[in-house]
Amino acid sequence: MKRWIFILTIVLLGLSACTTFHGVTVISPKVGHPNAPTKVESLQPILKWKPSSQMDVTYDVIIYEGIATREGFDIVRAWPKRAMGKEVYYREGFKETEHKVEDLLKSDNEYYWSVRVRQGEQVSEWSRYDYLLFGGVAYVKGDNLLFMFKTPKK
């Protein structure tokens, strides 16, 4: 028993993760592992983020369809490779820090989304994040990623 506790302690000490946001910080759907999109409960999910520290701003939201590429299987991560597809939703100029998607999205599909700040005609970059999971000598890294979610199967 003590041996298993020792092994588990060593594994946990060698495992760490870091997520760095660029731009507006997203609240919901929660940011997870880049290859495991957060499941939402609706085909019209509510997207939420923290307010900007700037005054008199509005927000824009964009959603892209996610696609599995035909390039094969990522053996290291044990997931099919993914990519952003076409833009399927865009809205701009609202003051709230949440937005319910007005159009019905496809059932059982993955989506990439982001939010940006607009102050008059000036707009920020789309919010993104970096992800690093380090475990001993191996790591999984993603840079400049949009946020992902998966719609329910209906």
Superfamily name and number for 2-150:
Immunoglobulins (2.60.40.10)
- Put the strands of the sheet holding 26-28 in their side by side order: 26-28, 46-49, 98-100
pTM across the whole model: 0.79
Q: Work out the mean pLDDT of the chain and round it to a whole number.
A: 82
Domain boundaries, given as residue ranges, for the chain: 2-150
pLDDT for the residue 34: 63
- Return the residue matching tokens 């592992």: 33
Which range has the worst mean pLDDT, 2-16, 57-71, 94-108, 136-150?
2-16
- C-alpha span between 12 and 101 (Å, rounded): 39
Q: Which of 4, 43, 49 is nearest to 24 (CA)?
A: 49
pLDDT band at 76 (very low <50, low <70, confident <90, very high): very low
Residue 28 token pair: 């919901």
Torsion from C-alpha of 117, 141, 73, 79, nearest 10 degrees: -80
Mean pLDDT of 81-107: 93
